[in-house]
Amino acid sequence: MLLVANTLGTILATVVAFLVITLLLVALLLFVKQKLAPSGPVKITINGEKEIEVPSGGTLLTTLGAEKIFLPSACGGGGTCIQCECHVLEGGGEALPTETPHFTRKELKEGARLSCQVKVKQDMNITIPEEVFGIKKWEATVVRNYNVASFIKEFVVEIPEDMGYKAGGYIQIEIPPCQIKYQDMDITAHPEEHETPDKFQMEWDKFGLWPLVMKNTETVERAYSMASYPAEGREIMLNVRIATPPWDRSKNGWMAVNPGIASSYIFAQKPGDKVTISGPYGEFFINESESEMLYVGGGAGMAPMRSHLYHLFRTLETNRKVTYWYGGRSKRELFYIDHFRQLEEKFPNFKFYMALSEPMEEDNWKVKKDINDEEGDGFIGFVHQVVIDNY
């Protein structure tokens, strides 16, 4: 009995000692964190002129965003898109391993950093592109959201004021925490592009898309090129392809992977819904010269092409020679064809060519012999190779 009591006493004393040591370690860690972690406001000097006072502790990207200074960040702060580049002249510390692969030694020496990776810990001196100050964030209203192809939406929103963007620019859309069920999506075909509203129903049934569910647990941002052009004013148009999980051939079904967060969110929006966008961003602008312009694109890559071409011809009425080579898997995956045919009829300096990589029997696709063949519909093959072979 005495032995048992002694054993229990030893165990109890050991447990108490362990708990006391643990509490002391936790207290020590909290004390050290309080002393070492950044706290209180710091000052950031921007481009040697503008000075802002901000809380410390966050990333430079989010800290500037809270001050309505929006650096581009297509990857949502993951350090992979390299679009949030800035120059930190003072107060940024050493570049992190997540940053150094993206810059040369000279660039790093000059202060090149990724703002999503830089922590705000002390007063800083930074430089950012002047055009960043023209970027704003808006609550936009969904105007329409039709399918223009089996897996591509024409997503149109309206913002409260003109964005003042250039043709070829892009916006970022904010995706809040949400759960999107594919069975709730409306994939009605665009009435101006297709004959029947349920044209793409069979394709979605065939691939078993309806049971898919997208789950997003945090607010993220994604970038999309604008298909609209400046003269369309406050309406901003995107062409968005749905990003499904990888296909598991062994199971003949989708892998248990979350579908695309942004594309699923956009596909689920309905007229009247509110979404948050920011912009304008971009560098893919029209080069002002008299040189010939050759555009090559397919699928959702249509977006910046439409923006450029509509601006060139509908706004500028350019005299430059322009060709657009547009590719898709089959005819049902092509859209805006009539729009470009109308441009081709009106402007003799514009030529529009198409290529199908896998034409279907129902397409009745008449293959062109060459670019001068007026009888054929287009070419067969991947569009980039078709351009090389025929132009």
> Across the 391 residues of the chain, what is the mean pLDDT of every consecutive 10-residue run?
58 72 74 57 94 94 93 84 94 94 95 96 95 93 97 98 96 97 98 93 95 96 96 98 94 94 98 97 92 94 96 97 96 93 97 95 93 93 95 90
Q: Are residues 70 and 141 in the same domain?
A: no
In a domain, 45, yes or no: yes
Q: Are residues 86 and 158 in the same domain?
A: no
pLDDT (tens digit per residue) in 84-98: 999 999 999 999 999
CB 135 within 8 A of CB 70: yes
From residue 247, alpha-carbon distances to 149, 212, 242 in Å are 20, 13, 14
Could you give the CA distance from residue 31 to residue 158 in angstroms, rounded to a whole number? 51
User: Letter for the amino acid at 317?
Assistant: E
Alpha helices, DSSP H, located in the chain: 2-36, 60-66, 105-109, 201-206, 261-267, 302-310, 337-346, 383-390
Nearest to 311 by CA among 232, 223, 193: 232
**Would you call 160 exposed, middle or buried from its count of C-beta atoms within 10 A (0-12, 13-18, 19+)?**
exposed
Q: What pLDDT, on the 0 to 100 scale, is given for residue 310?
A: 98
Domain edge (last residue) among 281, 310, 330: 281
List all residues 6 or more positions away from 49 whose beta carbon is below 8 Å from its beta carbon: none
Q: Are residues 312 and 244 in the same domain?
A: no
Structural domain total, the chain = 3
pTM of the model: 0.82
Q: Are residues 52 and 83 in the same domain?
A: yes
Q: Are residues 126 and 143 in the same domain?
A: no
Token pair of 365 as six digits: 């696709």
In a domain, 20, yes or no: no
Could you give the CA distance from residue 375 to residue 368 in angstroms, rounded to a whole number? 7
Domain edge (last residue) among 130, 159, 192: 130
Domain edge (last residue) among 217, 248, 281: 281
Q: What pLDDT, on the 0 to 100 scale, is given for residue 96?
A: 95
99: CATH: 3.10.20.30
User: Sheet holding 136-149: strands in order across?
Assistant: 220-225, 170-175, 274-281, 136-149, 152-158, 235-241
Q: Are residues 159 and 246 in the same domain?
A: yes
Q: Identify the domain containing residue 324 by its residue range.
A: 293-390
Q: Are residues 270 and 321 in the same domain?
A: no
Q: What pLDDT, on the 0 to 100 scale, is given for residue 37?
A: 53
Could you give the CA distance from residue 100 to residue 97 in angstroms, rounded to a whole number? 5
Q: Are residues 114 and 151 in the same domain?
A: no
Q: Are residues 167 and 297 in the same domain?
A: no
373: CATH: 3.40.50.80
Token pair of 31 as six digits: 């004390």
Q: Are residues 299 and 247 in the same domain?
A: no
Token pair of 136 as six digits: 């704003």
